[in-house]
Amino acid sequence: MSTSKNTSDNFKKTYGPWGLVAGASEGIGAAFSEALAQRGLNLILLARRKDKLSALAEELKSKHSIQTAYYCIDMDRYESVKALISDLNQEIGLLVYNAAYSPIGYFKDIPEHDLQQVITVNVRTPVMMVKLLSERMIKRRRGGVILMSSLSGLQGSPKIATYSATKSFNAILAEGLWHELKDLSIDVLACTAGAVRTPGYMNSADQKDAPGTLDPDQVVQETLNALGSGPTVTPGMTNKIAQFVMGRLLPRKMAISIMHNNTQNLV
């Protein structure tokens, strides 16, 4: 589909009237919410923290004259999320799944509960949400799905091994669904982001930015501009080069070792 859909009126016509952002309260999720509100979409916002979520919903409603609704819910509560999505009456034309859980540490040291949580939040819940919401999009023959992936999912990434594996899953899922759904006028896109200046990233790394680190707004704008043009996007030229080098040029063992050099200082 043509990126001309990303003009404000066409974007709303194609992906409106409502967008849903999971993991919306801050960072990339909040940036997606702002960008979609600018394009005229009403928004359903999902996250755990009521104070941040309610403040964002009220700000977007006042600033952009849109309708907003928010629900405080943990993406680890699979059945509760499923029930919520099933009961929504709004016509949702765009899903952005940004929620993620990333236990940091070597696999041997991560408790079983954390491993179960990363699978639920990063794999099981987004698959269910895409299934439920895409069924509605198929009936009206228009819509879009954005899944946040990561450059860490291109190869094994020590110390964030389970997180990286789930991000790889999301990218591959998006590629398959992109082909399945494009003839039904539904755009599917995976964003394979590098390091982003979010509160979570800043709290888990030292103060020096990794090469190619971007602000959330830049990640969001490049992602939305790519929606409808193909199955994946990697925001930032440095990250595009890194993706090519790590995925195409370097031996697998070397790529994994380089990732470990970048992740070993995460806390």
| DSSP bridge partners of 133 | none
**How many domains does the chain divide into?**
1
List the alpha helices (DSSP H) in the chain. 8-15, 27-38, 50-64, 78-87, 112-119, 125-140, 161-181, 199-204, 216-226, 237-244, 252-263
15-19, 70-74, 218-222, 248-252: the lowest-pLDDT one: 248-252
Residue 233 has pLDDT above 80, yes or no: yes
Which amino acid is it at 13? Answer: K
**Helix (H), strand (E) at residue 94:** strand 92-97
155 is in which domain, residue-wise?
3-263
CATH of residue 45: 3.40.50.720
User: Tokens for 208?
Assistant: 């020096």
Residues 141-164 pLDDT 10s: 999 999 999 999 999 999 999 999
Confidence of residue 199 (pLDDT cuts 50, 70, 90): confident
Say what the pTM is. Answer: 0.92
Q: How high is the pLDDT of residue 77?
A: 96
Q: How high is the pLDDT of residue 129?
A: 97
Contacts with 14 (C-beta within 8 Å, 6 or more apart), sequence order: 5, 93, 142, 143, 144, 228
| Whether the Cβ atoms of residue 64 and residue 98 lie closer than 8 Å to each other | no
97-106, 147-156, 172-181, 199-208: the lowest-pLDDT one: 199-208
DSSP character at residue 121: I
Q: How high is the pLDDT of residue 218?
A: 96
